[in-house]
Amino acid sequence: MKKITIAIDGFSSCGKSTMAKDLAKEIGYIYVDTGAMYRSVTLYALRHNLFNADGTIREQELQAQMKDIDISFRLNKETGRPDTYLNGENVESDIRTMEVSSHVSPIATLAFVRKALVEQQQRMGAEKGIVMDGRDIGTVVFPDAELKIFVTASAEVRAQRRYDELKAKGMEADYSEILKNVQERDYIDSHRETSPLRKAEDALELDNSHLTIAEQKQWLYEQYHKLTS
């Protein structure tokens, strides 16, 4: 069967990754979580003291060190999903902490970071047969993707989902802090100069505020099926 490129964009914590991962598994495609790549650069910057006390970034130092940052994905046999590796270390849970979440948006505004990660993403998808999720996949990374989805949900619904996710993993969580973080990231993600979050003209929009995960997955599978059957 003809392989296509599937681009899934949308706001943070709106369930993009869950539906993208499950679709990829079901149809035998590669899945790439590009948010995990921006989070990995952020973790690297935190570990190497590249943030000043006021939260600004030591940009020149980070730019010089970009060549030392190797991000890859390896299949976790237990979960059946890819884990994120930073310079050979599995950082899948370290990149999901509140500390990384609250530092990632300014990292994702840096043009040199975006350029390096977009180039790597384009190489990963060169052979098609890929489901990639992020903020600029349908607009910048794969403007020619055959299937583009733009996912939305209210900030409150998304904060509740992230809260439940952290709690389920036994991690610390405070709903109002999470909601504030979700709203701040929405603002920065959609107002930044380089590749702001926006719906591609030819993307299908899905508001999943009131859909179950099973309903979303079914909807996505139907869109894929319509295009490839």
Q: Was 84 annotated as part of a binding site?
A: no
What distance in Å separates the CA atoms of residue 63 and residue 173, rounded to the nearest whole number?
32
* 8 Å CB contact between 158 and 79: no
What distance in Å separates the CA atoms of residue 196 and residue 167, rounded to the nearest whole number?
30
Q: Was 112 annotated as part of a binding site?
A: no
Q: Which residues contact 140 (CB under 8 A, 6 or more apart)?
A: 118, 195
Q: Which residues contact 55 (CB under 8 A, 6 or more apart)?
A: 103, 106
- Contact residues for ligand DC, defined by CB under 6 A: 12, 34-35, 38-39, 104-105, 108, 134-136, 185, 189
Q: Was 12 annotated as part of a binding site?
A: yes
Q: Was 16 annotated as part of a binding site?
A: yes
Tell the smallest beta-carbon distance from residue 25 to ligand DC (Å).
Answer: 19
Please say which residue, 125 or 134, places its beta carbon nearer to ligand DC: 134
CA dihedral 91, 34, 195, 198 (to 10 degrees): -120
What distance in Å separates the CA atoms of residue 51 and residue 62, rounded to the nearest whole number?
10
Tell the smallest beta-carbon distance from residue 160 to ligand DC (Å).
Answer: 15
Q: If residue 163 lies in a helix (H) or strand (E), which one and from where to where?
A: helix 155-168
Please say which residue, 82 or 134, places its beta carbon nearer to ligand DC: 134
Please say which residue, 59 or 222, places its beta carbon nearer to ligand DC: 59
Tell the smallest beta-carbon distance from residue 54 to ligand DC (Å).
Answer: 19
Please say which residue, 21 or 28, places its beta carbon nearer to ligand DC: 21
Q: Was 17 annotated as part of a binding site?
A: yes
Tell the smallest beta-carbon distance from residue 7 to ligand DC (Å).
Answer: 10
Annotated binding site for ATP: 10-18
